[in-house]
């Protein structure tokens, strides 16, 4: 999604001279076009994420809209206090952009993974988080972020384009429409691709409706909540369960009196064997791989 992100930022910044872009010393061979487009409005803050967010808050106070870019764990965990106190509590238009959400940086290990980021940020005051599952969602999300002008986190990963015929309901996008649905799947971020693979490999496409969640905290329309009720529900997210999609969705469903008949949550399990590998390796350890997703879906059909 970095290619789509840099292209969209370049266009938006050329149209709006109040856009400022600050990087925490990342973006080599990815953001050169943004450097050329913004000139002095592109700032390399160096490996100093806390200072980066403090500077961004000051610029936002003066009327600018500021993007702060780094890999996800660096832009979230290192400057959480500054984002909370300087940005969120004052409703400043500062937009954190984290590349490689979840286990995206694979073999680089836990210091480079972001599997608790959404729990940290979606719980703060006045904040919204955007989690694209597909590459073509990045540009419209950026347009929405700038238009809203509120504290925001954009979590980038790697994804293809949205399946044809997708429909949006609040924080949710309906990406697979079943004509004879026996259950529902809700996925968060690019791991949705594993859900689609599981459905295709096991010839289950016609038996499940699949949704992605695009924002936390959730906006769950009442009609969608009751559409999810009474059937098995599988939630798939490359994020810990506490504070993630499954927990937030289950609270919303119960509050609406729309409980599913069966609820299964597949989430990031950390490092159960103490070893590191690529993203697919960690997904498999956490049961987020297509084969394990397929096993759970098949169990709903019995």
Matching fold, domains 2-156 and 167-300: yes
Average pLDDT over residues 158-165: 90
Domain spanning 167-300 has what CATH number? 3.40.50.920
Distance (Å, whole) CA 139 – CA 188: 18
Residue 169 CB-density burial (10 A; 0-12 exposed, 13-18 middle, 19+ buried): middle
Q: Per this entry, what is the length of the chain?
A: 302
CA angle 251, 270, 264 (to 5 degrees): 35
Domain spanning 2-156 has what CATH number? 3.40.50.970
At 95-128, the pLDDT tens digits run 999 999 999 999 999 999 999 999 999 999 999 9
pLDDT of residue 28: 75
At 24-45, the pLDDT tens digits run 988 777 799 999 999 999 999 9
What are the residue boundaries of the structural domains of the chain, listed by start? 2-156, 167-300
The pLDDT confidence band at residue 197, using thresholds 50, 70 and 90, is: very high
DSSP 14-72: HH-TTEEEEESS--TTTSHHHHHHHGGGEEE--S-HHHHHHHHHHHHHTT-EEEEEEEH
Cα–chain-centroid distance for residue 77? 16
């Amino acid at each position: 999604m970095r290619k789509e992100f840099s292209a969209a930022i370049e266009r938006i910044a050329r149209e709006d001279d109040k856009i400022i872009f600050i990087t925490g010393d990342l973006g080599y061979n990815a953001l050169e076009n943004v450097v050329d487009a913004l000139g002095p409005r592109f700032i390399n803050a160096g490996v100093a994420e806390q200072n980066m967010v403090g500077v961004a808050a000051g610029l936002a106070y003066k009327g600018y809209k500021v993007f702060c870019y780094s890999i996800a764990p660096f832009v979230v965990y290192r400057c959480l206090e500054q984002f909370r106190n300087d940005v969120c509590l004052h409703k400043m238009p500062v937009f954190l952009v984290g590349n490689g959400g979840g286990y995206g940086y694979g073999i680089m290990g836990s210091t480079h993974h972001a599997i608790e980021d959404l729990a940290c940020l979606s719980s703060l005051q006045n904040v919204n988080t955007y989690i694209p599952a597909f590459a073509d969602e990045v540009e419209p999300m950026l347009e929405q972020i700038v238009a809203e002008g509120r504290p925001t986190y954009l979590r980038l990963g790697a994804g293809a384009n949205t399946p044809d015929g997708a429909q949006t309901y609040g924080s949710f996008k309906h990406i697979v429409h079943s004509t004879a649905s026996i259950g529902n799947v809700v996925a968060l971020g690019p791991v949705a691709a594993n859900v689609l693979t599981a459905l295709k490999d096991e010839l289950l496409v016609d038996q499940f409706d699949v949704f992605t969640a695009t924002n936390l905290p959730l906006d769950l329309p009442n009609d969608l909540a009751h559409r999810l009720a009474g059937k098995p529900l599988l939630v798939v997210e490359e994020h810990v369960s506490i504070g993630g999609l499954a927990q937030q969705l289950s609270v919303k469903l119960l509050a609406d009196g729309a409980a599913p008949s069966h609820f299964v949550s597949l989430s990031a399990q950390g490092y159960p064997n103490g070893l590191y590998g690529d993203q697919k390796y960690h997904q498999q350890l956490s049961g987020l791989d297509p084969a394990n997703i397929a096993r759970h879906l098949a169990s709903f059909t019995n």
